[in-house]
Chain A
């Protein structure tokens, strides 16, 4: 089956450097001395830790519970003991720390009980939940949760598997397709059914003929009518929007998802992980990582998630003049802040770089507005305009020029004759705009809460006043009917001043209460104590304490307030 191919705008052809690592079969990396498993596998979402320090864990046992819409579970990559739960540097350009579970492997690789999942019988929702609990995320590098991407299960006609792998140096998908084509196809069929697609296309760049042949052979073996489509090698053909454009001719506009255009795209590595999760019940515990660049033994290794990179590097034997390491490709990757950061689900490649292999960019020169960047931009933007506005911190203008359509592929910076690090400017502008949006949302929230607080205080004041008025009226009514409780002098006052009457009534009640107070619990006391009590009572009588109490003590809690003034004061008191 050969379909018509389309073209995307721009693109570049950098030196592929694929042969270094593509010729060696995938090897399993040895168990490291410890595994640092971040609960946050990407900036998007984090998981909640469900193990304790000192606890024994089995291979595949869940250690992080998914949290939020975009959360996925995290699992112990091997059996061992949890020795720490703390903050460790994350594999991220910021070099910031994130919460990690540190596991000391026991070397036994004992699996937790796991079994195949019957996706057909369980239904769609259960299958998606299963994938989430298996920690399934896009393994192409973006680590977007697959269960979210599988979405509604209708309205998608074409499922695309992305095997383009357009970035130079990286060969992990290439090797995976050559060696595990059957698994990829099986995973693709599972995704195909889950998404309710009608057509399955696998796009592979034509510089990987072995991978194309292996996939075709696998498709023939199971007689699968899949379209395995070689696409021209042109960076960034592996970008989701670019690959969809090349294979289907559909251009996805800003703010829309590919699913809105009946297309969905998954990486081949993700498809393989889906196959392992459904057919074997195995969560994502490892991934294929390319170790290449300035090394003596480049190749691909199957690495457990959480393996510290400094324990991995000796496998590839970096050369002496290596000065820094990149995670991801040379176009979109970032320099590792430290070497003890762990491999995460999105780490597809580690490149050892030396000043001769990937020389530092020459100094930035002024933009000459040649327009080369605009010709190279696969998103059909005008990077030079974006550059002006980002540089001048004119973020509104940058957004008008569709800054957020930029996929940060680095084509513009690659072709720039003035060596301007354009993508750095765009990343700076994007993160500034996001920060501003966060600030604005926080300000709106604060405004709302402030206004509500003011409204609430007003309302409480009114409610309190109304309550007091009602209570006063009630007491007054009671006084009018119940004249016996009021002394003669008070009743005369009632006519002229109801407040005085209230005070008098309260005083009378307090007196009555005091007079009725008796010493209780005296039955079992010794004769001596009884004598003491009698003596005290006599003294009290002599001092006339049982009679009129001091007026300040008269109104007790629960009594009607004699005046409204203290009530207003009470507004400010803590209990009000």
Chain B
């Protein structure tokens, strides 16, 4: 009886010590879930979700403060991926946060631009070059299409233009079955 008790206590102590050591030794810095959510988000940094950037939104989702359907650039596919990752139910994109749009980039009408630098400060990814009283222009490959530069422009010279397919980005269409009329 006593031997059994001692053995059980001994095992409990050893395992407890091992677990305690492992908890310190293999401690995970930061929340790995946030990283995973952030990897799914499109990184437009547009703030349409109501958070100042994709990372804060990811943190809010991880904490359970935000819904998964607040990201219009991520679209339906993004919501599905988030639902899969988090084991939540799929929800259609929340309308108050915006609608899914085709990928576009900001274009500055260089004749109208007065060089006020307001768009440069608004751009979350430093994709606009220019200086005070000098013409500004958007570095197209870096533009995420977040539209944050459109509102601050005092002369409304920024427009969003849908990115056209090029030979390099063109995609083969999903094969569709041709429906033919039966005579």
Q: Give how many B residues have a beta carbon under 8 Å from the other chain's beta carbons.
A: 34
Is there contact, CB below 8 Å, between B169 and A435? yes
Chain A, residue nearest B125 (CB): A449
For residue B99, CB closer than 8 A to chain A, the reply is no
Residues of chain A within 8 A (CB-CB) of B141 are 442
Residues of chain B within 8 A (CB-CB) of A425 are 175
For residue A446, CB closer than 8 A to chain B, the reply is yes
For residue B157, CB closer than 8 A to chain A, the reply is no
Chain A, residue nearest B168 (CB): A43
Partner of B178 from A98, A363, A447, A450 at Cβ < 8 Å: A363
For residue A453, CB closer than 8 A to chain B, the reply is yes
- Number of A-B residue pairs at CB separation under 8 A: 78
Residues of chain A within 8 A (CB-CB) of B127 are 449
Is there contact, CB below 8 Å, between A43 and B167? yes
- Least distance between A88 CB and chain B CB atoms (Å): 12
Chain A, residue nearest B174 (CB): A428
Residues of chain B within 8 A (CB-CB) of A575 are 132
Most chain B beta-carbon contacts within 10 A, residue among A92, A421, A445, A452: A445
Residues of chain B within 8 A (CB-CB) of A40 are 167
Partner of A443 from B43, B53, B169, B171 at Cβ < 8 Å: B43
Partner of A435 from B142, B171, B173, B177 at Cβ < 8 Å: B171
Is there contact, CB below 8 Å, between B125 and A450? yes
Residues of chain A within 8 A (CB-CB) of B167 are 40, 43, 90, 92, 94, 96, 98
- Least distance between A376 CB and chain B CB atoms (Å): 19
Binds A, one of B13-21, B88-96, B116-124: B116-124
Is there contact, CB below 8 Å, between B172 and A421? no
Within 8 A of A (CB), among B136-173: 141-142, 144, 165-173
Is there contact, CB below 8 Å, between A574 and B175? no
A428 to B141, CA, bound (A): 24
A408 to B177, CA, bound (A): 20
Contact status of A432 and B171, CB under 8 A, knowing A363-B177, A574-B118, A574-B132: yes
For residue B126, CB closer than 8 A to chain A, the reply is yes
A443 to B44, CA, bound (A): 7
Contact status of A446 and B175, CB under 8 A, knowing A94-B170, A98-B167: no
For residue A444, CB closer than 8 A to chain B, the reply is yes
Is there contact, CB below 8 Å, between B132 and A431? no
For residue A438, CB closer than 8 A to chain B, the reply is yes
- Least distance between A437 CB and chain B CB atoms (Å): 11
Residues of chain A within 8 A (CB-CB) of B132 are 574-575
For residue B45, CB closer than 8 A to chain A, the reply is yes
Residues of chain B within 8 A (CB-CB) of A443 are 41-43
A93 to B173, CA, bound (A): 11
Is there contact, CB below 8 Å, between A447 and B165? no
Residues of chain A within 8 A (CB-CB) of B175 are 364, 421, 424-425, 428
A442 to B42, CA, bound (A): 9
A500 to B177, CA, bound (A): 83
Partner of B172 from A43, A424, A444 at Cβ < 8 Å: A424
- Least distance between A407 CB and chain B CB atoms (Å): 16
- Least distance between A415 CB and chain B CB atoms (Å): 18
Contact status of A574 and B116, CB under 8 A, knowing A445-B142, A453-B125, A453-B126: yes
For residue B37, CB closer than 8 A to chain A, the reply is no
Interface string of A450-468 (1 = CB under 8 A from B): 1111000000000000000
A439 to B169, CA, bound (A): 11
Is there contact, CB below 8 Å, between B177 and A364? yes
For residue B54, CB closer than 8 A to chain A, the reply is yes
Partner of B126 from A98, A424, A449 at Cβ < 8 Å: A449
- Least distance between B83 CB and chain A CB atoms (Å): 16
Interface string of A256-296 (1 = CB under 8 A from B): 00000000000000000000000000000000000000000
Is there contact, CB below 8 Å, between B124 and A431? no
For residue A427, CB closer than 8 A to chain B, the reply is yes
Contact status of A447 and B172, CB under 8 A, knowing A40-B167, A43-B167, A574-B116: no
Is there contact, CB below 8 Å, between B44 and A446? yes
Residues of chain B within 8 A (CB-CB) of A453 are 124-126
Contact status of A446 and B174, CB under 8 A, knowing A574-B118, A574-B121: no
Within 8 A of A (CB), among B25-51: 38, 41-45
Most chain A beta-carbon contacts within 10 A, residue among B116, B118, B167: B167
Binding site for A on B (CB under 8 A): 38, 41-45, 53-55, 116-118, 121, 124-127, 132, 141-142, 144, 165-175, 177-178
| 5 more CB-based (< 8 A) A-B contacts, given A421-B175, A428-B171, A446-B44 | A96-B166, A428-B175, A447-B38, A450-B124, A450-B125
Q: What are 5 pairs between A and B in contact, CB < 8 Å?
A: A98-B167, A446-B44, A447-B55, A450-B54, A574-B121
Binding site for B on A (CB under 8 A): 40, 43, 90, 92-94, 96, 98, 363-364, 421, 424-425, 427-428, 430-432, 434-435, 438-439, 442-447, 449-453, 574-575
